[in-house]
Amino acid sequence: MTNVQEMIERRERLLGPGNPLFYEDPVHLVKGEGVWLHDADGNRYLDCYNNVPCVGHCHPRVVAALCDQASKLNTHTRYLHENILDYAERLLGKFDESLDRVALACTGSEANDLALRIARVATGGDGFICTNATYHGNTTAVAQLSSIFEPIGGYGENIRMVPWPDAYRAPENLGGEALADIYADEVRTAIESLTANGIKFAGMIACPIFANEGLPNVPDAYMEKAIAYVRDAGGVYIADEVQSGFGRTGDWWGHQQSGVVPDIVTLGKPMGAGHPISGVVARGELLDDYRRHEMYFNTFGGNPVSCAVAMAVLNVIDDEGLVAKAAEVGEYVLQGFTELQEQHELIGDVRGRGLFFGIELVNDRKSKEPATENAKTIVNAMRHKGVLMSKIGEHDNVLKLRPPLCFSRENADFLIKTLDDVLVAA
Amino acid sequence: MTNVQEMIERRERLLGPGNPLFYEDPVHLVKGEGVWLHDADGNRYLDCYNNVPCVGHCHPRVVAALCDQASKLNTHTRYLHENILDYAERLLGKFDESLDRVALACTGSEANDLALRIARVATGGDGFICTNATYHGNTTAVAQLSSIFEPIGGYGENIRMVPWPDAYRAPENLGGEALADIYADEVRTAIESLTANGIKFAGMIACPIFANEGLPNVPDAYMEKAIAYVRDAGGVYIADEVQSGFGRTGDWWGHQQSGVVPDIVTLGKPMGAGHPISGVVARGELLDDYRRHEMYFNTFGGNPVSCAVAMAVLNVIDDEGLVAKAAEVGEYVLQGFTELQEQHELIGDVRGRGLFFGIELVNDRKSKEPATENAKTIVNAMRHKGVLMSKIGEHDNVLKLRPPLCFSRENADFLIKTLDDVLVAA
């Protein structure tokens, strides 16, 4: 039996207060396998939250690749090694041919920090646009582009935040391209504001599926319109695919359905299924230009072990058909959530892209008042019924689900049934 | 047989030009064991460079800890897990009791980026001091404190660089405390310059052994004097122990012989013997203050696998007595280098701290003109004779050696003999 209270006290004493923990009753995990997590008391949880172990917890092929390479050699990349070359070649093969260079690092934050500098060199500018309900990472520079937490010292004058494209809360008589125009105009206005203040525009960073914003149904052609403004103004588009990449959406990359090929793509979380590896994929001239201006070297980035692990992840995704599976099972789950919506007034909107879901809870379907408290209650109740998930969004009222990509229809049935039970009791 | 040229071409095509590679004939490594590295052609190299695999390449206990935990569970730290608590407790036990909190991340750059923000919150300032021949990492914010490469967009007005304490090139009639006063006065002047320009002072970041500066013999009491000015002005001292930590110097931490306990210590490279883990150890109130102002969460930081690996590294260092061994073998190596200095005019100065060495090459012992070309020639010649090392310093004329801590007297004899041969031929 776990003494949870004692562990929490040790955390506070050693790590300090304010370290985020999930759930009112935090979970003490000891084992992971596929879509399942086990706690120290022998309870089993269906993992509907963790996108990092994308191929399933402790996938034997990933663990084997890790152990095999770790027992042979692990060095930085100032020596030659085939793993980084084989991985880079394989990874770039998954992208549009215009995206033909990669730099490897360890975390999504490092990837986004580097991407910002690549954009600065490419444009000579320093003005960046992000949305007003997002998070892109934890370095000093990247924290400037995170609206969820205000950075220390406040925001720089070079940052503009635009409303994220929220189709659900848009005026009822607006939809499709008309709505896209309204939101894209916000991008144009932000660029004009930078220019008017003498700040040269560098680009826009956005998650192509707006995951942190609450996974909205993006109005048709929004990305084409917004990025056209960005490019017309000489800026670059950085697609933050740290959450949306590697099959999550039922495509390899979240940007594939947006109608726009980014100039720079950043990768992270699922790339090594938990092993710290991240990357920046970019048009060759952008990365080369950057390297002519500034040395970038990352001691652990692209080492033989990280690349062996990341290659195993690609292999498993391909061999187990997980991209197609994410699309197919994702469709099935979305159908189940839509049926729940018909039965439960609390569910205002149901959204999904592959195996990434947002269920927006509202106190009233007409006013769309966010049901923030209910979201909290439901997430905690699900935890006690053996399903791990979380919540997200500007109003913290969107249930957030993104299980490992090996999630099955059977797992989906359990999730939907449990959520139904919890909603009945809510 | 390796086709090195083909690998270099693949690197350029996939990663872009400008990715740093060691040696005129780059080495294609395939295997590491203890202090030895093996290339694809069956050649063996004595590793006198790599501080990351501090306990030796592919140490079986470290690999076993990695594989064991990776096959059980790997998650972020929003669930409870004992590994992060056990590791944090053990790690903090190695520090002065005033340093009683730790935050874990993945890279030294992330650790330094976070340390700067902790200092900003603690002081309300943004003015930082570093030396004029250093490097602290690769994020946008940390690159501001790196004089070796000018950051994109240039340096901010909040940065001041002070001369590093170079005892070797100091005026001959100066030494000891008189010299310390001169260099410490530069810190005082830098603080005054910040204040005069309306920039509130936040602190000074320095490697306690000035590793990137070329491992100088720091004048007596320099650190006490410099940091007294820092603290009198309300600033904090960030000791960047990414290179100097974990036994490298023959003490656990590089700051232990400096006479000053830092306010914040950053850790990286050897912490996981190659696995990406880093950390910030700080006085509790500093980290707690920070967490009250800004959320810091690192997806991979402090996960069960990273902490298992880092704990294994601590265990091996303790069980194999590697800190004492670094001191003892380091002394032996330093003696050997001093004897080489007596025979070879090219060696102007020999410096060492534990198993970290700098051999400064000069064309003329009186003028101390840096022998930059010779340093390059020697490093490449050593590579062809089976010894891997590099060079460093403001003039790129200091041979840089920092072998794994399991380096033996026998290894030392081979190193010294080989360097003697190469110097004879130079």
Residue B181 has pLDDT above 70, yes or no: yes
Residue B171 has pLDDT above 80, yes or no: no
Mean pLDDT of chain B: 96
Place of tokens 């800890």: B65
Q: Where does residue A342 fall: left (phi above 0), alpha (psi -120 to 50 degrees), or beta otherwise?
A: alpha
When scoring B106, B145, B157, B379 by the number of chain A Cβ atoms within 10 A, the one with the most, hence best to mutate, is B106
Domain residue ranges in chain B: 4-55+321-425, 60-319
Which residues contact residue A44 at a Cβ distance below 8 angstroms, ignoring those fewer than 6 apart? A36, A37, A38, A386
Q: Determine the pLDDT at residue A187.
A: 98
Q: Which residues of B touch A27 (CB under 8 A)?
A: 79-80
Q: CB–CB of B106 and A139 under 8 A?
A: no
> How many Å lie between the alpha carbon of A39 and the closest alpha carbon of chain B?
10
User: Which pTM was predicted?
Assistant: 0.97
Q: What is the ipTM of this complex?
A: 0.97
Q: CB–CB of A276 and B106 under 8 A?
A: yes
Look at the domain B60-319 and name its fold.
Answer: Aspartate Aminotransferase; domain 2 (3.40.640)
pLDDT tens-digit series, residues A327-350 = 999 999 999 999 999 999 999 999
Q: CB–CB of A21 and B107 under 8 A?
A: no
- For CA atoms A250, A254, A258, A262, the dihedral sign is negative
Q: Determine the pLDDT at residue A410.
A: 98
Nearest-10 crossing angle of helices A304-319, A82-92? 40
> How many Å lie between the alpha carbon of B342 and the closest alpha carbon of chain A?
33
CATH superfamily of domain region B4-55+321-425: Aspartate Aminotransferase, domain 1 (3.90.1150.10)
* Percent of chain A scoring above 70 in pLDDT: 99
- For CA atoms A228, A229, A235, A241, the dihedral sign is negative
Tell me what the mean pLDDT of segment B60-65 comes to.
Answer: 98
Of A73, A126, A151, nearest to B30 by CB-CB distance is: A73
Q: CB–CB of A149 and B294 under 8 A?
A: yes
Q: Determine the pLDDT at residue B265.
A: 98
Give me the DSSP letters along A204-260: EEE-TT-TTTT---PPTTHHHHHHHHHHHTT-EEEEE-TTTTTTTTSSSSGGGGTT-
Residue A47 has pLDDT above 70, yes or no: yes
Q: Are B102 and A14 in contact (CB under 8 A)?
A: yes
Q: CB–CB of A120 and B153 under 8 A?
A: yes
Could you tell me which chain A residue has the CA closest to the CA of B47? A75
Q: Which residues of B touch A102 (CB under 8 A)?
A: 14-15
Q: Which pair of tokens denotes residue A386?
A: 């053996």
Q: CB–CB of B101 and A14 under 8 A?
A: yes
Q: Determine the pLDDT at residue B86.
A: 98
When pLDDT is cut at 50, 70 and 90, the band that residue B18 belongs to is: confident
When pLDDT is cut at 50, 70 and 90, the band that residue B1 belongs to is: low
Q: Are B273 and B47 in contact (CB under 8 A)?
A: no
Q: CB–CB of B107 and A107 under 8 A?
A: yes
> How many Å lie between the alpha carbon of B222 and the closest alpha carbon of chain A?
30
When scoring B3, B4, B107 by the number of chain A Cβ atoms within 10 A, the one with the most, hence best to mutate, is B107
pLDDT tens-digit series, residues A205-243 = 999 999 999 999 999 899 999 999 999 999 999 999 999
Place of tokens 């409870």: B80
pLDDT tens-digit series, residues B88-130 = 999 999 999 999 999 999 999 999 999 999 999 999 999 999 9
Residue A161 CA, distance from chain mean position? 19
Residue A176 has pLDDT above 90, yes or no: no
Instruction: Say what the alpha-carbon torsion angle B329, B334, B335, B340 is, to the nearest 10 degrees.
Output: 130
Q: Which residues of A touch B32 (CB under 8 A)?
A: 72-75
Which of A389, A374, A314 minimizes the C-alpha distance to A344? A374
- Residue B93 CA to residue B108 CA, distance in Å, equals 21
Q: Establish, for the pair of chains A and B, how many residue pairs have beta carbons separated by less than 8 Å.
A: 292
When pLDDT is cut at 50, 70 and 90, the band that residue B426 belongs to is: confident
pLDDT tens-digit series, residues A309-326 = 999 999 999 999 999 999
Q: CB–CB of B74 and A85 under 8 A?
A: no
Q: Which pair of tokens denotes residue B44?
A: 């063996």
Cβ neighbours, 10 Å, residue A6 = 10
